[in-house]
């Protein structure tokens, strides 16, 4: 096995619901308190993993987090048995119940930032879990995510899982959703692009929604990962894009190996950023700037075109995996057709149904964390987390046994849900033996 990019998707949890908790994420807010289907959501996510695995691309997953987060509710002053606590929270602060039951850890693009061993001075893969301090429901994920990553990437001869950055306004970190790696081949040293929305030394530029990632966080991660400063680029998000609902960079640009697709409003200093990336990369990089005329910002956010996944499927050939919403948006559908006809590595596009995730604010790229691994590093990852034919069917049966077909925010007050989730997670733990 050569060096490969492995996708670690979040296995969508049994408490997937539409809490509308993410300010600046338009889909999350629009579908607030709609009826969700945890079973359908998880099966859709597994179907995506299976499709990728069937392409011969290594596909793994991260398990959902235990829910509800009772420690969070206790920190808010609620006491008593889990049943009594849930009932009291539902009566007094139902919004906190939604936070405690949040399944947003499914979007593993926010789990961490990963730098491959070929980029790091000590020759090991470096991983920094995101602190996600901007959103309360997401900040709860960090301790469990760190624990899970350390269980999977446990071999310190190959991996370094850092502590998350301090939970401070100036070190706000949202993980790989604001990080792109470009390279000639996966085994080669790459250019790491870090995207931020604000610098603690200046004022907030966006007006409508908060900028989540900071420059200080990006620079701290680059330093922790022992990256070559000459191979790092730091780019500020365009404030207009943030205010249009581009809460992370993976909603406005996507890159894989030597191809970088960018909306013209992705970066505040677009020309400088693209020139700097080219200078760092050298010959062979293709950066395609898509104009607002080709795809309006509103259409980019609605269709999640840039949240598609780009896969290398052959020598200088790539597949674009788009959310099915792109096939239903006229501008996005035409853009896909134009890209396939144009002179670039994209030779095929497939559309995938992830509506349950999309309606909660996350598309194909939100659901996955990328890690470039050598043969030895790959062998050091527990095989239990990889999607095989057998594992796929086991997980589908597990979902059908334990997940509800429908879930509303009022259903979170059902004390039976606590035991249902506990049983499901205990069974999954036994299956994975992490």
Query: Is 200 assigned a catalytic role?
Result: no
Q: Which of 16, 248, 263, 402 is catalytic?
A: 248
Query: Is 316 assigned a catalytic role?
Result: no
Q: Which of 5, 174, 192, 356 is catalytic?
A: 174
CA dist., res. 370 & res. 180, Å (int): 10
Nearest to residue 304, comparing CAs of 381, 266, 239, 250? Answer: 250
Query: Is 248 assigned a catalytic role?
Result: yes
Three-state SS for the chain is CCCEEEEEEECCCCCCCCCCCCCCCHHHHHCCCCCECHHHHHHHHHHHHHHHHHCCCCEEEECCCCCCCHHHHHHCCCCCCHHHHHHHHHHHCHHHHHHHCCCHHHCHHHCEEEECCCCECCCCEEEEECCCCCCHHHHCCHHHHHHHHHHHCCCCCCEEECCCCCCCHHHCCCHHHHEEEECCCCCCCCEEEEEECECCCCCCCCCCCCCCCEHHHHHHHHHHCCECHHHEEEEEECHHHHHCCCCCHHHCEEEECCEEEEECCCECCHHHHHHHHHHHHCCCCEEEEECCCCCCHHHHHHHCHHHCEEEEEECCEEEEEEECHHHHCHHHHHHHHHHHHCCCCEEEEEEECCHHHHCCCCCCCCCEEEEEECHHHHHCCCHHHECCHHHHHHHHHHHHHHCCCCECCHHHHCCHHHHHHHHHHHHHHHHHCC
Token code pair at residue 338: 């134009």
Q: Which of 225, 263, 366, 402 is catalytic?
A: 366
User: Which residues are registered as beta bridge partners of 60?
Assistant: 8, 386
Active site residues: 174, 248, 366
């Amino acid at each position: 096995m050569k060096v490969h990019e492995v996708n670690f998707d979040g296995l969508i949890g049994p408490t997937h619901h539409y809490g509308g908790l993410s300010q600046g994420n338009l889909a999350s807010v629009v579908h607030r308190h709609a009826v969700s289907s945890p079973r359908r959501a998880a099966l859709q996510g597994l179907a995506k993993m299976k499709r990728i695995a069937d392409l011969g691309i290594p596909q793994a997953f991260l398990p959902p987090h235990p829910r509800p987060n009772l420690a969070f509710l206790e920190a808010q002053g609620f006491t008593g048995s889990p049943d009594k606590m849930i009932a009291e929270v539902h009566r007094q602060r139902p919004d906190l119940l939604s936070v405690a039951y949040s399944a947003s850890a499914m979007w593993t693009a926010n789990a961490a930032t990963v730098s491959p061993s070929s980029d790091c001075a000590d020759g090991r893969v470096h991983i920094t879990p995101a602190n996600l301090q901007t959103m309360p429901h997401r900040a709860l994920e960090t301790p469990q995510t760190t624990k899970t990553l350390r269980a999977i990437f446990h071999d310190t001869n190959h991996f370094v899982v850092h502590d998350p950055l301090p939970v401070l306004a100036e070190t706000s970190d949202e993980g790989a959703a604001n990080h792109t790696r470009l390279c000639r081949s996966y085994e080669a040293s790459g250019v790491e692009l870090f995207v931020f929305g604000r610098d603690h030394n200046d004022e907030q530029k966006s007006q409508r929604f908060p900028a989540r990632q900071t420059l200080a966080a990006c620079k701290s991660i680059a330093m922790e990962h022992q990256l070559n400063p000459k191979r790092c680029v730091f780019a500020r998000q365009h404030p207009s894009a943030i205010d249009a609902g581009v809460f992370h960079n993976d909603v406005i640009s996507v890159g894989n190996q030597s191809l970088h697709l960018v909306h013209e409003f992705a970066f505040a200093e677009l020309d400088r950023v693209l020139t700097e990336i080219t200078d760092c990369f050298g010959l062979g990089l293709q950066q395609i700037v898509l104009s607002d005329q080709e795809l309006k910002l509103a259409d980019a956010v609605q269709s999640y075109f840039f949240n598609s996944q780009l896969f290398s499927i052959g020598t200088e050939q790539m597949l674009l995996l788009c959310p099915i919403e792109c096939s239903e948006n006229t501008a996005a559908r035409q853009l896909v057709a134009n890209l396939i006809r144009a002179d670039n590595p994209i030779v095929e596009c497939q559309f995938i149904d992830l509506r349950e995730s999309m309606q909660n604010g996350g598309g194909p790229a939100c659901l996955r964390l990328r890690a470039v691994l050598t043969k030895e590093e790959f062998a050091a990852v527990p095989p239990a987390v990889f999607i095989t034919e057998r594992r796929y069917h086991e997980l589908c049966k597990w979902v059908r046994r334990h997940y509800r077909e429908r879930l509303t925010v009022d259903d979170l007050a059902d004390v039976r849900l606590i035991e249902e989730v506990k049983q499901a997670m205990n069974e999954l733990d036994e299956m994975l033996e992490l």
